[in-house]
DNA sequence: CAGTATCCTTCACGATACTG
DNA sequence: CAGTATCGTGAAGGATACTG
């Protein structure tokens, strides 16, 4: 998504953070699964390439949404998790998610609440 | 924004509707101003070109977010307004807007949380 | 395992000119 | 007034191969 330099309201600023093609899915996965490793995320988000997943994660990290922790062990390990800011973003997205579920997705009982 | 054919959750579906570069600004303007004519919208959203404004409006119309009404008069007139669906979308976006205002915009009188 | 490194494609958006 | 009609560009995203 094209970074804007001036924002008119909070919404377009937020959309800018969250508007990448796979970003909300990353947020969703990290929220649902908790801390995730790279390969785990890749599996949770079928279709995304490693390159794009990496760049999205780095952008979310730069925006303070995601925490990235590297463990220098014999077997390399990196763990991703939501920052408090990321968790609050996810909460702010919930009404939008509910709207999408109710109006855009095929069917679904729309009384299914998620935390 | 790239249309996706399958959605994983309501949020990415909603982002798809609302993720065009100027779309939330259109929603914002229609919400704030009420019914608007084309030129009016153009003035409310500085920087957007006629071509892009047109195509965004048509997409929002196709998604049921915006109502477009043509008046065949001596002076051509077209009025845009939010549909009930569009109004509900705007409401669902409000928490995201609040989040963006609190965390992304320079400053209101708001105190800034952790850097 | 968790990425890089290249190369390539697409299309969203922009600039400008013209019109019913 | 409210748009089309073209043409052009850049960056986001994808495919594939390779690596510390």
Task: Among B14, B19, B95, select the one facing A104 at the smallest CB separation.
Answer: B14
Distance separating alpha carbons of residues A100 and A12, to the nearest angstrom: 18
Please give the residue of chain A at the shortest CA–CA distance from B28.
A9
Task: Among B2, B21, B104, select the one facing A17 at the smallest CB separation.
Answer: B104
Distance separating alpha carbons of residues B32 and A60, to the nearest angstrom: 31
Per-residue pLDDT of B16-73, as tens digits, reads 999 999 999 999 999 999 999 999 999 999 999 999 999 999 999 999 999 999 998 8
Instruction: State whether A97 and B14 contact (CB < 8 Å).
Output: yes
Query: For residue B35, how many C-alpha atoms fall within 13 Å in the half-sphere facing its CB?
Result: 7
pTM for this predicted structure: 0.90
**Structural domains of chain A ordered from first start:** 4-96 (1.10.10.10)
Spanning CA of B41 to C1' of D16, the rounded length in angstroms is 45
Spanning CA of B17 to C1' of C1, the rounded length in angstroms is 36
């Amino acid at each position: 998504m094209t970074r804007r330099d001036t924002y008119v309201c909070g919404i377009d600023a937020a959309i800018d953070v969250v508007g990448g093609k796979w970003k909300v899915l990353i947020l969703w996965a990290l929220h649902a699964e908790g801390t995730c490793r790279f390969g785990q995320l890749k599996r949770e988000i079928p279709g995304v390439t490693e390159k794009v997943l990496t760049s999205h994660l780095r952008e979310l990290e730069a925006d303070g949404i995601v925490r990235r922790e590297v463990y220098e062990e014999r077997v390399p390990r990196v763990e991703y998790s939501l920052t408090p800011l990321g968790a609050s973003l996810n909460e702010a997205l919930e009404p939008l998610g509910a709207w999408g579920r109710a109006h855009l997705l095929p069917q679904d009982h729309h009384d299914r609440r998620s935390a």
